[in-house]
Amino acid sequence: MKLWDKGKPTDKEIETFTVGRDREMDLYLAKYDVLGSMAHITMLESIGLLKKDELIELLAELKNIYKIADEGNFVIEDDVEDVHSQVELMLTRKLGDVGKKIHSGRSRNDQVLLDLKLFTRQRIRDIVEGVSNLFDVLISQSERYKDVLIPGYTHLQVAMPSSFGLWFGAYAESLTDDLRMLNAAFRTCNRNPLGSAAGYGSSFPLNRTMTTELLGFDGLNYNVVYAQMGRGKMERNVSFALSSIAGTLAKLAFDACMFTCQNFAFLKLPDEFTTGSSIMPHKKNPDVFELVRAKCNKIQALPQQIILISNNLPSGYFRDLQIIKEVFLPAFDELESCLKLAAQMLKEVKIREDIIDEDKYKYIFSVEEVNRRALAGVPFRDAYKQVGIEIEQGKFEPNKQIHHTHEGSIGNLCNKEIVALMDEVMKQFSFEKIDKATEKLLK
């Protein structure tokens, strides 16, 4: 079944090439396509393009289809082109000609735009929940181990005193900035393109404000040409935010892999979180963190993939945009699993608390000694030279008492302030409004 079929057959090879992986990708969108149709036909009835009894019939059957999709049982049949065609086919099989009326005043162009936005804003919510969970673990561990010192590094050389409080807290604060980016992308996503049709509007007296409210959007994509131009742009903006989160996770995973290796031995993973070697019986490998690093590095390439597909297209719709689905839609599952496993691993990780007792770390206290002498009145550059000479002559003995007080330092982590930042960002997502709209549609 093709919505555009005019009775002339299509070359099978051409059909296979042009449909591509659409059936597979459209399964991600099925329940959102149904929600969009429910809002659209409710609006059509209000402007006289559907009768009340037709609307009641259609809504009841669309709710049945939504349930099938929500339970993961929605299937796009082999001879059906896409999710839009499958939903319309299911309606006409059940209700006859009334099922053919749901497409009035819209195109598959604005249908897929809408489906993508509804899908994306829900998956953004899933990612926000995953980030929030990981954030809570990081803050908890930062507080728990705030007094455990570790060496800090520059150029991968032992540098200055750090702490597990600082290390865990740094990644928590990084996630707050990542969520700011995600919120900006969410706001772009949460605007209604429905009614833009093929990109040039409709001669029907559509009530676009009504569908905006029915679907819980924050507002409209007003200009119909711009609504169509948003295809690819929305995905690109969201992918930049996803890649920011992935960047934080990839760096965290690198640290975790490094800190669990025997040369560092700062962290120890529970045995059930590691894998072994087929030849070396002693091996306990941090495969999960290695895969988190690789998957998150792959996600960081996502914006570039989308840009290269869409950046030289003029205004209007082009089939190139179909390919964006293939890289964009699965990325949410991948990032969500990385967030979940990273949180699980870091919650159970074992911390070694005697790290700085090792002699090789004594020079991390050299700056502390320079500062101590400067506070006693020795000019900083002279104090630096004195300590440097002592180190060269093997006479330096560290004082391991640390007294850092400024904001964000070892002795003043500012975790309460970081939590407040996260709370502030979380409040900016309008998830409750979306929930109420969805519940009302499905009643």
Domains of the chain (ranges, CATH numbers): 12-103 (1.10.275.10), 108-147+163-207+222-357+414-442 (1.20.200.10), 358-412 (no CATH)
Residue 402 in this model has a pLDDT that exceeds 70: yes
**Average pLDDT over the chain, rounded to whole?**
93
Among 21, 186, 207, 27, CA closest to 115: 27
Give the model's pLDDT for residue 4. Answer: 45
Please state the rounded mean pLDDT for residues 385-396. Answer: 95
pLDDT 10s digits, 148-197 = 999 999 999 999 999 999 999 999 999 999 999 999 999 999 999 999 99
Give the model's pLDDT for residue 99. Answer: 95
Residue 238 in this model has a pLDDT that exceeds 80: yes
Q: How far apart are CA 116 and CA 254, in angstroms?
A: 33
pLDDT 10s digits, 73-122 = 999 998 898 999 999 999 999 999 999 999 999 999 999 999 999 999 99
Residue 424 in this model has a pLDDT that exceeds 80: yes
Give 10's pLDDT tier (boundaries 50, 70, 90).
low
pLDDT 10s digits, 296-338 = 999 999 999 999 999 888 888 888 889 999 999 999 999 999 9
Give the model's pLDDT for residue 45. Answer: 98
Residue 54 in this model has a pLDDT that exceeds 90: yes
Give the model's pLDDT for residue 81. Answer: 86
Question: pLDDT higher for 402 or 190?
Answer: 190
Please state the rounded mean pLDDT for residues 130-134. Answer: 98
